[in-house]
C-alpha cells in the first residue's frame, strides 16, 4: 500500500525487442489495469536484470530507451503510472544485497529459470544470474506492492519473494507487504509462429517466429503467412492443432472475440484466410502504437522529463522502504 492505495509493480527486462507475446500477455493488460482500477502502478524497465546475460552497451541502451517509449506508446500514461529505469533507483541493488543475506543457497538452487538460463549460457553462469530472483524480490518489496502481474514463468520468483518477505517480517516485524500474483483478464499466451509448442520469445533465433512491436505491416503479414500450421486443413481449436489454435488465440486477444465466434467466422475457410485476417487484425492493433512511438522518438524533451520525474518518484517511495529496512537491520543512520 502506498498513500492508502493498492500498489502494483511489474516490469520487463530491457533485452532485445519486445514481441506481440509480451504485448498481449503483459503490456496490454497493464494498460487496461491502469485505466480501470484505482491502483498505484509502478512499471520498471529492468536493466539491472538484463546484464545477467552479457550485453553490448550500445544495444542495451537502445533497447532500454525503446522499451520506455513502447510502454508510453502502448498507453501507459506516465503522469498516472510511474515508469522508471531500475538502474536509476539505487535502492534496488541496495535492498537486493540485504535480502541476499536472508535468502538461502538451496532456495536459489531450486529456481527453474536459473537452471534453464545456465544451461543456455553455460559459458557465463555468473552469480548475478544465480541471485536474479533476489533483485526481483527487492523490486517488488521496495514499493510495498500488493499485486504483481506476472506470467507463469515468473511465478516461482514471486513465491520466493513472498518467502523472503515473510522471513524478514518474522524477524523484524511488519516491514514488507506480502505481494500477491495478479492474473490479468486476457493474459494471452502467445506461441512461436514457427514452433507453436514454444512460447513466442524475443530471443528466438528465427525472426519469423516472433512478431516484434515495431514490425511494419508487410513484415507482419509475411510472418503470419509463413506461420507453421498443420496438414489437417480444417480450422479448429484443439491440442492437436497448436499452430491454428495459436492463430485463433492471437486473433481473439486482439479483437476480443470468443473462440466460438471465431470458429464460426472462419467456418469452411482455409488457413490462408485465417492467417490474413490475423495479420490484418494485428497490424491494425499495432498501428496507433507505432504512430505514437514515432512521435515520441522525436520528442526528446518530453521523454527526458518523464524519465527524470518518474525516477525521482520511484526513488522517493523506494528509499522510504529502504530506510526502514536499514534501521531495522541495525545500520547507523548517517548524521545529517
Ligand atoms: N524477471 C521478469 C521477467 O523476466 C522481469 C522483472 C524484473 C519483474 N523485476 C520484476 C517482473 C518485478 C515483475 C516484478 O519477465
Q: Measured in angstroms, how far is the CA atom of residue 140 from the centroid of ligand 1?
A: 9
The backbone torsions φ and ψ at residue 105, rounded to the nearest 5 degrees and listed phi first, read: -50, -45
- The residue whose C-alpha atom lies closest to atom 2 belonging to ligand 1 is 12
Is there a single domain that holds both residue 46 and residue 159?
A: yes
Is there a single domain that holds both residue 140 and residue 230?
A: no
Q: Measured in angstroms, how far is the CA atom of residue 283 from the centroid of ligand 1?
A: 27
**Counting Cβ atoms within 10 Å, is residue 134 exposed (0-12), middle (13-18) or buried (19+)?**
buried
Is 101 contained in some domain? yes
Is 335 contained in some domain? no
Q: What is the CATH number of the domain that holds 152?
A: 3.40.50.620
In terms of residue numbers, what domain contains 127? 6-182+300-329
How many CB atoms within 10 Å of residue 145? 27
Helix ranges restricted to H, the chain: 20-22, 28-36, 47-50, 57-74, 91-100, 105-109, 112-120, 127-142, 155-172, 217-225, 242-255, 259-265, 271-298, 300-329
Q: Measured in angstroms, how far is the CA atom of residue 148 from the centroid of ligand 1?
A: 9
Is there a single domain that holds both residue 55 and residue 126?
A: yes
Determine the pLDDT at residue 150: 86
Is 198 contained in some domain? no
**Domain count of the chain?**
2
Is there a single domain that holds both residue 49 and residue 157?
A: yes
For residue 153, the ligand 1 atom closest to its alpha carbon is 15
CA distance 130 to 123: 14
Identify whether the C-beta of residue 41 lies closer than 8 Å to the C-beta of residue 225: no
Determine the pLDDT at residue 36: 74
CA distance 81 to 148: 14
Is there a single domain that holds both residue 48 and residue 102?
A: yes
CA distance 150 to 16: 19
Q: What is the CATH number of the domain that holds 223?
A: 1.10.240.10
- Which three three-digit cell numbers place residue 231? 496438414
173 Rama sector, left if φ>0, alpha if ψ -120 to 50, beta otherwise:
left
Residues acting as catalytic residues: 117, 199, 202
Tens-binned pLDDT, residue by residue, of the chain (336 aa): 888 889 999 999 999 899 999 999 999 989 988 777 789 999 999 999 999 999 999 999 999 999 999 999 999 999 999 999 999 999 999 999 999 999 999 999 999 999 999 999 999 999 999 999 999 999 999 999 999 998 888 999 999 999 999 999 999 999 999 999 998 765 678 999 999 999 999 889 999 999 999 999 999 999 999 999 999 999 999 999 999 999 999 999 999 999 999 999 999 999 999 999 999 999 999 999 999 999 999 999 999 999 999 999 999 999 999 999 999 999 999 898
Is there a single domain that holds both residue 60 and residue 170?
A: yes
75 Rama sector, left if φ>0, alpha if ψ -120 to 50, beta otherwise:
left
Pocket residues: Cβ below 6 A from ligand 1: 9-13, 46, 49, 136, 139-140, 148, 150, 154
- The residue whose C-alpha atom lies closest to atom 8 belonging to ligand 1 is 11
DSSP string computed for 113-179: HHHHHHHHTTT---HHHHHHHHHHHHHHHHTT-SEEE--GGGHHHHHHHHHHHHHHHHHHSS-SPPP
Is 310 contained in some domain? yes
Is 233 contained in some domain? yes
Is there a single domain that holds both residue 174 and residue 307?
A: yes
Is there a single domain that holds both residue 147 and residue 256?
A: no
Is there a single domain that holds both residue 255 and residue 317?
A: no
Is there a single domain that holds both residue 289 and residue 307?
A: no
DSSP one-letter code for 13:
E
Is there a single domain that holds both residue 129 and residue 255?
A: no
Is 266 contained in some domain? yes
Is 111 contained in some domain? yes
Is there a single domain that holds both residue 49 and residue 151?
A: yes
Write down the pTM of the prediction. Answer: 0.95
Q: Which of 189, 129, 202, 143 is nearest to 3 (CA)?
A: 143
CA distance 296 to 183: 30
For residue 46, the ligand 1 atom closest to its alpha carbon is 7
CA distance 203 to 276: 25
With cell 523506494, the residue in question is: 318
Is 202 contained in some domain? no
Determine the pLDDT at residue 185: 65
Amino acid at each position: 500500500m502506498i498513500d492508502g492505495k493498492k500498489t502494483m509493480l511489474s516490469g520487463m527486462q530491457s533485452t532485445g525487442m519486445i514481441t506481440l507475446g509480451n504485448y498481449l500477455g503483459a503490456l496490454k493488460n497493464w494498460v487496461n489495469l491502469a485505466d480501470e482500477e484505482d491502483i498505484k502502478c509502478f512499471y520498471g524497465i529492468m536493466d539491472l536484470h538484463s546484464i545477467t546475460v552479457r550485453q553490448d552497451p550500445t544495444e542495451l541502451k537502445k533497447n532500454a530507451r525503446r522499451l520506455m517509449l513502447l510502454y508510453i506508446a502502448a498507453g501507459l500514461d506516465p503522469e498516472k503510472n510511474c515508469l522508471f529505469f531500475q538502474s536509476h533507483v539505487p535502492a534496488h541493488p541496495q535492498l537486493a544485497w540485504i535480502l541476499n543475506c536472508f535468502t538461502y543457497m538451496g532456495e536459489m538452487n531450486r529456481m527453474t529459470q536459473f537452471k534453464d538460463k545456465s544451461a543456455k549460457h553455460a559459458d557465463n553462469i555468473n552469480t548475478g544470474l544465480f541471485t536474479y530472483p533476489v533483485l526481483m524480490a527487492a523490486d517488488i518489496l521496495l514499493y510495498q506492492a500488493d499485486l504483481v502481474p506476472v506470467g507463469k514463468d515468473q511465478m516461482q520468483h514471486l513465491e520466493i519473494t513472498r518467502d523472503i518477505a515473510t522471513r524478514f517480517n518474522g524477524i523484524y516485524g511488519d516491514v514488507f507487504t506480502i505481494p500477491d500474483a495478479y492474473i490479468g483478464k486476457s493474459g494471452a499466451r502467445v506461441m512461436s509462429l514457427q514452433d507453436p509448442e514454444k512460447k513466442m520469445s524475443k530471443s528466438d533465433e528465427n525472426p519469423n517466429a516472433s512478431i516484434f512491436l515495431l514490425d511494419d505491416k508487410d513484415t507482419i503479414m509475411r510472418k503470419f503467412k509463413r506461420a507453421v500450421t498443420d496438414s489437417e486443413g480444417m480450422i479448429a481449436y484443439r491440442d492437436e492443432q497448436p499452430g491454428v489454435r495459436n492463430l485463433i488465440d492471437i486473433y481473439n486477444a486482439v479483437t476480443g472475440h470468443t473462440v466460438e465466434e471465431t470458429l464460426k467466422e472462419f467456418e469452411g475457410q482455409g488457413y490462408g484466410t485465417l492467417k490474413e485476417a490475423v495479420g490484418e487484425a494485428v497490424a491494425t492493433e499495432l498501428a496507433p502504437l507505432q504512430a505514437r512511438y514515432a512521435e515520441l522518438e522525436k520528442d526528446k524533451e518530453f521523454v527526458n522529463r518523464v524519465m527524470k520525474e518518474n525516477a525521482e518518484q520511484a526513488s522517493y517511495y523506494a528509499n522510504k522502504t529502504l530506510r526502514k529496512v536499514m534501521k531495522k537491520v541495525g545500520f547507523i543512520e548517517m548524521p545529517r
